[in-house]
Amino acid sequence: MKNKRGKHRMTILLSSIGLLLIAACAALFVSSGVFTKPEYLEPWKKSYSQKFEDPRIQLAAHGLLAANGHNMQPWKIKLDADKEVFYLFADSERLTLEVDPMARQTMVSQGTFLEYVRIAGKQLGYRTDITLFPDGEYNEQALAESMKNKPVAKISITKVEAKNHPLYKYMFLPDTNRAAYEKTPLSSDQINDLLAINTDQEMNIKIFQDPESLQKLGDYAMKGAEIESGIHRISQESAEVFRANEYEKNKYRYGFSLEGQGTTGIMKHVMQGLITLFPSMNNEKTSADLYVKSTRTAVDNTPAYAMIITKDNSRMEQVKSGMLYSRLILTAHSLGLVMQPPSQVIEEYGEMKEQYTQIHKEYAPKGGTIQMFVRIGKPKQQFPQTMRRDITDLILR
């Protein structure tokens, strides 16, 4: 009799534990937003731009997919009364001044947008004539206000015959892959194809894959990550744009999320649920340690690095380097390669000054500026697409 009662109690206990586990899992996935439609991914659909009749918005919807600093998507567009003209403005409300105090990365991001617009134009049947800073460059003493008043570019479009652009289809792939790459060096043909995209004598692409350079540049990447991860104000800036779950991603549609670390599927929702329910799990130290650890994995699995170096550091050259960077990304994709910028070491804030000065002394000794520093290789895993805003949110009214 006692055995029967004992078994009965055990059955009840196990059932209760099972119900608690089910409830806990349900709470976890509900908190993650597992059943929420990811509206923030809609701009990645090839049909997305066709929702809009205005060809200028169609082209800008492609620009929206471009690589940009910290996924802030710092763009505004103004549609001119002339239906063949629109303007690109830098969004001064989306600056990340702790890591980008000179707004250099923001300007590079303007160039990435413009190049996507140009490529999409050829695909859709529009010639795009891009005039940079048609009203002159910024007043650097009142930069934010100047960004509001002066466009980065005037884009004039003319209807022409549509032609397939060899890089167009690669615009719909994620621009950054932070995972480990295969250690196979780039072939001479791949290197030649990547170098051939640059036709501007004011800029230079350099590719490094010899053992000495891999060691040296890997050390720079690690040092940059270690310095940046230990700066409280920068951690705060990043934390403010971290989106913990599907609800936040749909609400904001820009910034950081777990996808940026390559987390997908069930594990993404488990982690999102845990972080939402227990925010302390994503504290500053944990994030810093994870960042340094992931950088070490990346550095140890990188077959090549590349740089885009300009002769000067004008706003014009910053934008042009962004246009070149888009071509570099898309050409890399066409060759089965991916990229990631471990860009901390070329950021201009005080704590990074020593590393910034040293890497420029070694790799841009004639006074040039390293606008982009990236690792490049064949991926071991594919990375997911990240948040994008609705293109209508970029239109200045």
Return the pLDDT at 205.
98
Q: What angle do CA 47, 52, 54 make, to 5 degrees?
A: 130
- At residue 30, does pLDDT exceed 60? yes
CA distance 346 to 220: 10
Written as six digits, the tokens of 25 are 């899992």
Q: What is the mean pLDDT of the chain?
A: 93
CA distance 178 to 109: 19
Residue 52 falls in which region: left (phi positive, over 0), alpha (psi -120 to 50) or beta: beta
Return the pLDDT at 190.
98
Q: Is 53 exposed, middle or buried (0-12, 13-18, 19+ CB in 10 A)?
A: exposed
Which CATH homologous superfamily contains domain 178-377? NADH Oxidase (3.40.109.10)
Q: What angle do CA 264, 270, 276 make, to 5 degrees?
A: 110
DSSP 99: T
Return the pLDDT at 69.
96
For 190-234, write each residue's pLDDT tens digit. 999 999 999 998 999 999 999 999 999 999 999 999 999 999 999
For the whole prediction, is pTM greater than 0.75? yes
> At a CB cut-off of 8 Å and minimum separation 6, what does 182 contact?
301, 303, 377, 378, 379, 380
Residue 16: pLDDT band (50, 70, 90) is low
Residue 63 falls in which region: left (phi positive, over 0), alpha (psi -120 to 50) or beta: alpha
Q: According to the CATH classification, is domain 40-171+385-394 in 3.40.109?
A: yes
CA distance 244 to 4: 48
Whether 178-377 and 40-171+385-394 are alike in CATH topology: the answer is: yes
Across 45-49, 102-106, 365-369, least confident range: 365-369
Return the pLDDT at 21.
61
271-278 long-range contacts, Cβ below 8 Å, gap at least 24?
Answer: 272/31, 272/32, 272/33, 272/244, 272/245, 272/246, 273/27, 273/28, 273/29, 273/30, 273/31, 273/32, 273/245, 274/28, 275/244, 275/245, 276/31, 276/32, 276/244, 276/245, 277/27, 277/28, 277/31
Say which amino acid occupies 130.
I
- At residue 71, does pLDDT exceed 70? yes
CA distance 342 to 298: 9
Sign of the CA dihedral running 181, 187, 190, 193: positive
Given strand 75-79, what is the order of strands in its sheet?
75-79, 85-90, 153-159, 126-132
The answer to whether the CB of 26 falls within 8 A of the CB of 8 is: no
CA distance 285 to 268: 21
Return the pLDDT at 261.
81
For 140-196, write each residue's pLDDT tens digit. 999 999 999 999 999 999 999 999 999 999 999 999 999 999 999 999 999 999 999
Q: Is 86 exposed, middle or buried (0-12, 13-18, 19+ CB in 10 A)?
A: buried
The answer to whether the CB of 48 falls within 8 A of the CB of 42 is: yes
Length in residues, the chain? 397
Say which amino acid occupies 25.
C
- How far the first Cα of the chain sits from its last, in Å, is 80
Domain boundaries, the chain: 40-171+385-394, 178-377
Return the pLDDT at 22.
64
Residue 17: pLDDT band (50, 70, 90) is low
